[in-house]
Structure 1
Amino acid sequence: MTATSTFRVYYEDTDMAGVVYYANYLKFLERGRSDAVRDAGISQLDMKTAGLVFVVRRVEADYHKPARFDDILTVETGLEDMRGARFSMPQRVMRGDEVLLSARIDCAVMSLEGRPARLPAEIRHKLADFMQ
């Protein structure tokens, strides 16, 4: 299964040419990942209380077409390659049927002290079950 989130492009998201500023796509992707994790039944606040956080360790993005002010965008988020302390989330930013951006985000689990930590089994199962 792919999780989806829908967002509108606001004026503040655009550059002088009226298109979405390239770095703002990272914000859209983050919102999509956060929604997917929440929809899977995982509370990032509870994780933090338990001393764990998700971090982004790598971003690979291909820009295909520009988004513009007032567009309605859908962020699609998947899950692949889940290992002990890391996993990947392929994502796409869509305008209708058009792919505007495709990305792969590599995430890791860290302790609040900044050390790698294993993904707890309960969270691993929730992610895997939701994203299948």
Structure 2
Amino acid sequence: MIHTFPIRVYYEDTDMGGIVYHANYLRYIERARSDWVRRLGNDQNAMREAGIVWVVRRIEADYIATAKFEDELLVETTINSMTNARLVMDQVVKRDGAPIFRARVTAVCMNSAGKPVRLPAEIRALQSQ
């Protein structure tokens, strides 16, 4: 299953050189992950109210090419692996179908005491698909 999320580069996303500032790619893939879990039925507000939050544990990132003001990008998110307590996703930002940024993101859920907890049921259900 591939989740896709469109992004348009705005002027505020760029640096003095007119290209997307490197940290903004992390924002783009975060938005895509949030959209993906919401579409799967995961209510992050309800989780937070119950004292459970998503936490990024690790990101490995490769910057392949630059994006510029007004570029239309597409973030693709796929599951790389999953356990009951850890989700590893591959995310690719593309422009005109060509990868310009790749990341492998490891996410976990933690309770208010900072202890890891099981992933939400709607996410764990993807293991059987």
TM-score calculated relative to the size of structure 2: 0.93
- For residues 16 and 42 of structure 1, the distance between their equivalents in structure 2, rounded to whole angstroms, comes to 38
Deviation at 1:120, TM superposition (A): 3.8
In structure 2, the residue matched to 1:46 is 46
Deviation at 1:7, TM superposition (A): 1.1
Deviation at 1:123, TM superposition (A): 3.8
- For residues 98 and 122 of structure 1, the distance between their equivalents in structure 2, rounded to whole angstroms, comes to 31
Is residue 8 from structure 1 mapped to residue 18 from structure 2 by the alignment? no
Is residue 17 from structure 1 mapped to residue 28 from structure 2 by the alignment? no
Cα distance per residue 1:55-108 (max 9 Å; x no partner): 000000111110000101111011122112111010000112110101100001
Residues 42, 120 of structure 2: 8 Å contact kept = no
In structure 1, the residue matched to 2:77 is 77
Residues 42, 122 of structure 2: 8 Å contact kept = no
Deviation at 1:121, TM superposition (A): 3.2
In structure 2, the residue matched to 1:87 is 87
- For residues 84 and 40 of structure 1, the distance between their equivalents in structure 2, rounded to whole angstroms, comes to 17
Q: What is the identity, as a one-letter code, of the residue corresponding to 2:104?
A: R
Q: How many equivalent pairs are there?
A: 128
In structure 2, the residue matched to 1:108 is 108
Residues 7, 72 of structure 2: 8 Å contact kept = yes
Q: Runs of 5+ in structure 2 lacking a partner? A: none
Q: CA RMSD in A?
A: 1.3
Structure 1: 4+ residue segments shifted above 3 A: 120-123
Same amino acid, percent of matched pairs: 52
- For residues 122 and 61 of structure 1, the distance between their equivalents in structure 2, rounded to whole angstroms, comes to 27
Q: What is the identity, as a one-letter code, of the residue corresponding to 1:6?
A: P
3-state SS of the aligned residue for 1:79?
A: strand
- For residues 44 and 120 of structure 1, the distance between their equivalents in structure 2, rounded to whole angstroms, comes to 10
